[in-house]
């Protein structure tokens, strides 16, 4: 049930550097839902313990508290935000559109995050080379996204959760070893990014 006047403010625990926290922050912004952000750095010495105390049994982020409800896992949190609160719908109305959205989300989870973020951006940020073959894998991921992306938003005429997922990774992708290829090899994605930057999370 959606509630336009819910007086219980959701609380999101996470870190601004975390892709998955950023996805949740973007989702709140896209729905224009008031919330409170509690910074929780899981790389700090007590971070995993704090995360478990906040409700994540695996000591990770993000975590959502809303009244008596505690949620972890980004997909559950973002769909709850969309289903629970008033605001523009963030999931397509038709089955094919929802399937495409879920396809993008799965690509972010299984390819973009491990290959482009952890495989290419993190080594560059630490001053080391990526593992052999990772750049080629990253370029293949970008090529697949370029083929799938719609002319306006990823899944059609309005932004969806797919846009929130990919937008949360884009700063890292552009600053990775694959970022130099984007202007020439992924023009549709770069055109999308000109609009999608407005979805960047605000804690």
Nearest alpha carbon to residue 74 among 123, 132, 135, 14: 14
Q: Which of 31, 64, 84 is the last residue of a domain?
A: 84
The per-residue pLDDT for range 106-138, each reduced to its tens digit, is: 999 999 999 999 999 999 999 999 999 999 999
Task: Find how far residue 123's CA is from the centre of its chain.
Answer: 20
Place of tokens 């549709």: 188
Q: 125, 58, 194, 161: which is closest to 116 by C-alpha?
A: 125
Range of the domain at 124: 95-199
- Residue 131 per-residue DSSP state: P
Residue 77: give its domain's CATH number. 3.40.30.10
The CA distance from 80 to 77, in Å, is: 5
| Whether residue 78 sits in one domain with residue 107 | no
Are 23 and 77 in the same domain? yes
Q: The domain spanning residue 187 has which CATH number? A: 1.20.1050.10
Which pair of tokens denotes residue 131? 């593992």
**pLDDT tens, position by position, 28-83:** 999 999 999 999 999 999 999 999 999 999 999 999 999 999 999 999 999 999 99
Residue 4 falls inside a structural domain:
no
């Amino acid at each position: 049930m959606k509630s336009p006047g819910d007086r219980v403010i959701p609380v999101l625990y996470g870190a601004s550097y975390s892709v998955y926290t950023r996805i949740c922050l973007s989702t709140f912004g896209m729905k224009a839902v008031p919330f409170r952000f509690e910074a929780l750095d899981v790389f700090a010495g007590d971070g995993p313990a704090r995360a478990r105390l906040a409700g994540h049994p695996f000591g990770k982020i993000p975590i959502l508290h809303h009244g008596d409800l505690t949620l972890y896992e980004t997909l559950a949190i973002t769909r709850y935000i969309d289903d629970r609160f008033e605001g523009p719908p963030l999931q397509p109305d038709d089955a094919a559109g929802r399937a495409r959205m879920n396809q993008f989300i799965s690509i972010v989870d299984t390819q973009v995050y491990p290959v482009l973020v952890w495989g290419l951006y993190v080594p560059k940020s630490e001053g080391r080379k990526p593992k052999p073959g990772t750049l080629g894998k990253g370029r293949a991921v970008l090529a697949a996204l370029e083929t799938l992306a719609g002319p306006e938003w990823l899944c059609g005429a309005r932004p969806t959760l797919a846009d929130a997922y990919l937008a949360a990774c884009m700063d890292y992708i552009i600053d990775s070893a694959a970022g130099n290829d984007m202007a020439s090899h992924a023009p549709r994605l770069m055109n999308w990014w000109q609009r999608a930057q407005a979805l960047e999370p605000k804690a």
